[in-house]
Amino acid sequence: MILTGLIIALLAAALHVFIFYIESFAWTTKGISVFGLTPESAAQTKEMAYNQGFYNLFLGIIAAVGAIFFLAGSSSVGLALMIAGVGSMFAAAAVLFLSSPDKRSAALKQGTLPLLSLIFLALGALI
């Protein structure tokens, strides 16, 4: 079970690295189509998106480093880092889902992998 959660955590990390790229480096190009923005709103929110992108990168790094620690034999440290990473990813998606009804589809895409990872990691830790 933990291995399944670990694989899903790595997929969630990869998704968050992709989001980092879009938000931090392609906000006024690809970000317009990915997030349904107007060129004007993209230009106005470029600095915010740049910062938000790094937030997503750091969440991905936490989960990936946790997976590395786990696979290297430090299972407690690895599990804690993976749960911190995917737990924060899921919490951010839940906030987006609850606070922005028009962005619920994005929140579901952002939060599904972290939630699945949390479930498998928790079940694996308890069994």
> What pLDDT is attached to residue 36?
86
The DSSP call for residue 27 is: T
Q: What are the domain boundaries of the chain?
A: 2-16+54-126
**pLDDT tens column, 93-102:** 999 999 999 9
**pLDDT tens column, 38-55:** 999 999 999 999 999 999
> What pLDDT is attached to residue 35?
87
Query: pTM of whole model > 0.85?
Result: yes
pLDDT < 70: residue spans in the chain? none
